[in-house]
């Protein structure tokens, strides 16, 4: 689920060169299954519209090379697949959806506390110390 979204985000930028890429008949529809032959029903093809799969050229970006594959049905794009993605922390996996909130201070019944490494001195005054004291 998390991986689906970033492809779309990336492809928005990567598509620009694709728009300018005019597939020449035959040569552009590459590879097996590129074009659904007329009369051969496939699950993916909508009635009356043959789908064409076009691999875009590799676009160097500051994050690395990007290449997308676009499926056209008629004149419309129905699918975009990433063929090459930059090996970069920001984009390697995705740009996931995040929920924005405001920081709130709270106290509640808890079993333990997660926090950055505390030293033994810091522990004496920590919430975890209070929890441990409660358990003994």
Partner 1 sequence: MGFPVSLRVDDPDVPADAADAVFAWLRQVDRRFSPFREDSEVSRYGRGELPGGALSADLAEVLALGEEFRRATGGAFDVRLPGRGLDPCAVVKGWSVQRAAELLTGAGLRRFCLNAGGDVAVSGGPWRVGVRHPGHADRLCAVLEVSHGGVATSARYERGDHILDGRTGRPATGLDSLTVVAPTLTEADAVATAAFALGEEGVAWAAAREGCEVFAVLPGGRVLRTPGLPVAA
Listed residue (4, 1, 26) closest to 82, CA to CA: 4
| Residues 61-100 as x/- pattern, contact with partner 1 by CB under 8 A | ---------------------------xxx-xxxxxxxxx
16's tokens? 């620009």
| Cα–Cα distance, 29 to 18 (Å, whole number) | 14
Q: Tell whether residue 8 is a contact of partner 1 (CB under 8 A).
A: no
Q: How many residues bind partner 1 (CB under 8 A)?
A: 45
Q: Is 129 exposed, middle or buried (0-12, 13-18, 19+ CB in 10 A)?
A: middle
Which listed range, 13-21, 37-45, 65-73, 115-123, lies at the site for partner 1 (CB under 8 A)? 115-123
Pick the binder of partner 1 from 2, 12, 57, 74 (CB under 8 A): 2
117: Cβ contacts below 8 Å, ≥ 6 apart: none
Q: Tell whether residue 114 is a contact of partner 1 (CB under 8 A).
A: yes
Residues that bind partner 1 (CB under 8 A): 2-3, 6, 88-90, 92-120, 122-123, 125-129, 131-132, 135
């Amino acid at each position: 689920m998390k991986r689906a979204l970033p492809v779309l985000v990336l492809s928005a930028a990567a598509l620009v060169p694709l728009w300018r890429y005019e597939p020449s008949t035959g040569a552009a529809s590459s590879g097996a299954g590129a074009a659904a032959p007329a009369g051969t029903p496939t699950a993916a093809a909508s009635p009356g519209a043959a789908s064409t799969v076009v691999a875009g050229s590799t676009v160097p970006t500051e994050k690395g090379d990007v290449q997308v594959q676009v499926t056209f049905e008629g004149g419309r794009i129905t699918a975009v697949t990433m063929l090459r993605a930059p090996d970069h922390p920001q984009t390697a996996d995705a740009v996931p959806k995040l929920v924005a909130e405001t920081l709130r201070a709270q106290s509640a019944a808890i079993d333990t506390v997660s926090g950055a490494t505390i030293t033994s001195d810091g522990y004496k005054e920590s919430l975890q110390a209070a929890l441990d004291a409660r358990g003994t």
